[in-house]
A and B are shown apart, each in its own frame.
Chain A
Amino acid sequence: MDSNVLSIKNLRVSVGDKEILKGVTITVKSGEIHALMGPNGTGKSTLAHTIIGSLRYKVNSGEIMINDINLKDLQVYERARAGLFVAFQEPVSVQGLRFINYLRTAYTSLHPEERLEYKKFVEEVKELLAYFGLDSSFIDRGLNDGLSGGEKKRMEALQMLILKPKFIILDEIDSGLDIDALKVVSKAIGRAKENGAGIIIITHYQRILDYIKPDYVHVLINGRIAESGSGDLAKLIEERGYEYYRGGEIDAKVE
C-alpha cells in the first residue's frame, strides 16, 4: 500500500471579507479515517472547498500539501489529479450530462495512463449502482439531475470508489441517507480505506461513526480545531454538546 500524507497546516481562509478558518492543522495518512465535527457554520465545508481549490475561498496563510507537493498553485482539476476527492455537501446537478459520460471523462482524466475498456467500465458502474441500491438506469440520467437528497449522496459515494482517489473528504455524506443506505455507504468508506485512501468524514452524527470507526476525531469551533482525540471523542461530543467549548476552555483543549 502506498503511504501518502495530506497535511493541512495553520490554514487561514476567508470568504469575501470574512475570515472563516483561523488556523487549522490536520494531518491525514493513507488508510486513516478522521472525523471532523462541529456546529453549523463553523467552517467544515469551507475547509473541504479550500482543499480542492475552489477560487471563492481565499487562503490567507498556511499550506496544504500532499506528500511534498504544495497544492498552492494547482487548479481544482490538478488537485483532483493529485489524488483528492471531495464528496460535496450539496452536489450540483448538470442537466443532460449523462452520468456515465461524465464519469468516463472524469476517470480518463484522472487515470490517463490506463486504457479504459468502456464495456468493463460500464459493467463496474452498474455493479456499484446495485451495491448502493440504485437502479441501473441512473447510468443515463443527467448528472445529479432530479435525484433525491439520499440518491445524490449514494452517487457521490459511488464516485469515491470508482475514481480511486488517494484522499477523500466526505462532507456530510450521511445526511439524508436512510438506515440501509447509511450502512452501505459506511461499508463503501471501509472499502476505500482498505484500498489505502486517507479519509476525512465531516459529520454531525455519531451514527455513521458507529458503522465506520474513525481513528481520530477533530472538533472545529469558530474556524479553529478546539479539540482532537481518538475515536471515542465523538461519543463524548454527543453527550456534552458544543456548549462545552464555549468560553475560555478552547485553547486548553487544543492538542
Chain B
Amino acid sequence: MQKWNENEVEEVKKLNEIKYDFVTNVKPAYQVQKGISRSVIEEMSREKKEPDWMRNIRLKALEIFLSKPVPTWGPDLSELNFDEITYYIKPEDRKANNWEDVPKEIKDTFDKLGVPEMEKKYLAGSVAQLQSEGVYSRLKKQWEDKGVIFMDMDSALQKYPDIVREHFGKVVPPSDNKFAALNTAAWSGGSFLYIPRGVSLDLPVQAYFRMNGALEGQFERTMIIAEPGASVHYIEGCTAPTYSQYSLHAAIVEVYVKEGSKVRYTSVQNWSDNIINGPTKRAWVEKNGRMEWVQGSLGSKITMTYPSSILRGEYASTSNLNVALGIGPVWKDNGAKVIHAAPNTSSKVVAKSISGKGGMSVYRGQLRINPGAYNSKASVQCDALILDDISKSNTYPHNEILEESASFSHEASVGKISEEQVDYLMSRGIREEDARSLIVLGFLDDVLKEIPLEYSIEFNKLVKLEMNKYGAVG
C-alpha cells in the first residue's frame, strides 16, 4: 500500500477524471425516441433483426413491467421517470473483433479505461460495451478452439439462437421484479459466455460496460453457461461519466452452473454518482457445482443488488462476498440470496459495508434452507462500519431454516473507527485521513483479498478516493 498524502489524492482525483469521468463524443448510429412503449420495443427488435420469439418475450415482459409498481420497500426511487429515459442507443454499426477496427473515439474511450491493456496482460477474452451495444469482443484462439464462446449477447442471439432460447429468462424470469421485467423488455448488449464440458479457463474473461449520457438506460443481458466440469472466472467492470441528471442501469445476469462446474463472478462497479443501479443476478447451481459471487460496489446514487444462488443439486455450494461503500448522499442496498434446495449444500455470505458523509448502507438478505435439504450448512456474516454520526446502516436478514438437520449461523456487527486506532496509526507518522483509509481497507480486507490483484490495487485507490470525495471523513 502506498503512502497517501494530499498531493497524491489530488493526483489520483485528476487521474480518476481522465480515467472514468469523461464523455465519449459519438454521434449514435441509431437511437430510439425516449420513453418506453410497444412501438419502441418493436422498433428495437426490428433494428436488431431479432427472431419473432424474442420480440414476443420482450412484449410480454413490457406488460409485466407496466403492471408492476416501483418498489417502495427500499431507497427512494421517486426521481425515476420511465418516460424521460432513452432505452436504446447504438453508438456504432459495426462490432469489431480487433481493437484496430474499433472507431477511434470509442477505442480511445476504452484505452483510457485500460481495457485493451488489461486484456493483453491478463485476460483470456473481453467484451466491451458502450451505451446499448457491444462494440468489441474477442476470445483468444486457444479457447475458441476448445469450443468456448464469448461474445456480446446480441451477436450470440444471431449465431446461437437455440442455446440462447433454451436458457433465456429461466433463471431470472421477467416476473421476478420490476427492473427484471424492464430488462427483459428492453435488453440490449451484455455478454454471452459458454464453456463446454470439462474445459477450464485458466485466465479470466472480462466484460466492460460503459455508460455515456444522462437519462440513458443501459440494460445489458448476460448469460453464462458452464457445462459439467467446466470452470471460469468472469469479471465485470462498470463505469460512467458524471451528470447532474440520473441514468438507469438494470442488468440481468443468468448463470448456469452445471454439474461439477465452477463459476466465479467478480464485479467491480465504480459508478458515477448519478447512476441508479438495479441489476438482477442469479445462478442455478447443480450437483457438486460451485458459484462464487465477489462484488465491490463503489459510487452510484442508488444501488439495489442481491446476487442469488439457487443450490439445486446435492453438494452444490456458493459463496457471496460483498463490499459496498455508501459515502455521500447515496443509498446502497446490497445483499445476497441463497436457497438451499438439495441435501448437503453449503453457502457462505460475507457482506461488508461502509457508510460515511450521510450515506446509507443496507444489508438485505434472504437465506432459505428447504425441508429435505439435509445436512446443509449456511453462514451469513454482515459487518458494517459507520464513519460518522450522520451516516446510517441497516440490516434486514431474512432467514428461513426449514430443515432440522441443517446448520446455520448468522453474525452481524456494527462498528465505528475508534479514536485510539487513529491515534495509534498517527503516532507512527501516518496522517489522519490515511489512517482512516487504512482502517477501512483493513475492515474490507476479507473480501478485497478475493479480488484479483490487478483489480484490487485499483480498488484500494478508489476506496481512498471515495473516502476523500466529500472532504476527509471522520
Contact = CB atoms under 8 A, between A and B. Distances in A.
B142 interface: no
A110 B1 CA distance: 15
B421 A110 contact: no
A75 B432 contact: yes
Contact of A94 (B1, B4, B439): B439
A94 B442 contact: yes
Contacts of A86: 427
Nearest to B435: A77
Interface of A: 52, 54-56, 75-77, 79-81, 84-86, 88, 91-92, 94-98, 101-102, 104-106, 108-110, 112, 142-143, 159, 163
A97 B439 contact: yes
A77 B435 CA distance: 10
Given A80-B427, A92-B418, A109 B3 contact: yes
A77 B442 contact: no
Given A101-B1, A105-B438, A96 B446 contact: yes
A163 B428 contact: yes
17 contacts: A55-B419, A77-B432, A80-B426, A80-B430, A86-B427, A91-B424, A92-B418, A92-B420, A92-B424, A95-B442, A96-B441, A97-B442, A102-B438, A105-B2, A105-B4, A108-B2, A109-B431
B458 to A, nearest CB: 16
Given A104-B1, A109-B3, A77 B438 contact: no
A106 B442 contact: no
A235 to B, nearest CB: 32
A11 B425 CA distance: 25
A174 to B, nearest CB: 20
Contact of B424 (A88, A108, A142, A163): A88
Given A105-B1, A105-B434, A108-B3, A97 B428 contact: no
B423 interface: yes
Nearest to A48: B427
A81 B3 CA distance: 14
Contacts of A92: 418, 420-421, 424
Nearest to A79: B427
Contacts of A85: 427-428
Contact of B430 (A54, A79, A105, A112): A105
Contact of A52 (B419, B427, B439, B442): B427
A86 B429 CA distance: 11
Nearest to A84: B427
Contacts of A80: 426-430
Interface of B: 1-4, 418-421, 423-432, 434-435, 438-439, 441-446
Contacts of A97: 438-439, 441-442, 445
A199 to B, nearest CB: 16
Contacts of A55: 419, 423
A96 B1 contact: no
B426 A77 contact: yes
A163 B427 CA distance: 11
B264 to A, nearest CB: 22
A106 B421 CA distance: 14
Contacts of A112: 3
B435 to A, nearest CB: 8
Contacts of A77: 426-432, 435
The list of the 7 closest CB pairs from A to B, nearest first, reads A97-B442, A96-B445, A96-B442, A76-B426, A109-B429, A106-B428, A110-B429
B432 to A, nearest CB: 7
Nearest to A80: B429
A76 B422 CA distance: 10
B247 to A, nearest CB: 34
Contacts of A95: 442-443, 445
A94 B438 contact: yes
Contacts of A52: 423, 427
Nearest to A77: B426
A110 B418 contact: no
B427 to A, nearest CB: 5
Given A88-B424, A92-B420, A106 B439 contact: no
Given A77-B432, A105-B430, A94 B3 contact: no
A143 B441 CA distance: 12
Nearest to B420: A92
B419 to A, nearest CB: 8
A81 B442 contact: no
Max chain A C-beta neighbours (<10 A), residue from B3, B419, B424, B434? B424
A56 B418 CA distance: 13
Contacts of B434: 105, 109
A181 B152 CA distance: 62
Contacts of B432: 75, 77
